[in-house]
Amino acid sequence: TLFGCFWTNGQICSATSRLLIHKNIAKEFVDRMVAWSKNIKVSDPLEEGCRLGPVVSE
């Protein structure tokens, strides 16, 4: 699910890394996922409404 992709910034052993979507709904699913992802508020995790904070890269 989308929650599984972005919860804890995707940096957890149980984060969603693959989704198996039937081809009949794939385009609509991807379109909705992209639209939802574009609305994720990226900011200071202490700020109200923040859904994605700093990401560790090393």
User: What is the secondary structure of 8-56 as a DSSP string?
Assistant: GGG-STT--------TTTHHHHHHHHHHHHHTPPBS-TTSTT--B----
Average pLDDT over residues 3-7: 62
Q: Which residues contact 31 (CB under 8 A, 6 or more apart)?
A: none
The predicted pLDDT at position 3 comes to: 61
The predicted pLDDT at position 10 comes to: 57
Pull the structure tokens for residue 45.
Answer: 């995790």
pLDDT, one tens digit per residue, over 8-58 is 555 566 667 777 899 999 999 889 988 988 877 777 878 887 777 777 667
Give the pLDDT band of residue 4 (cuts 50, 70, 90): low
Host domain of residue 23: 1-58
Tally of domains within the chain:
1
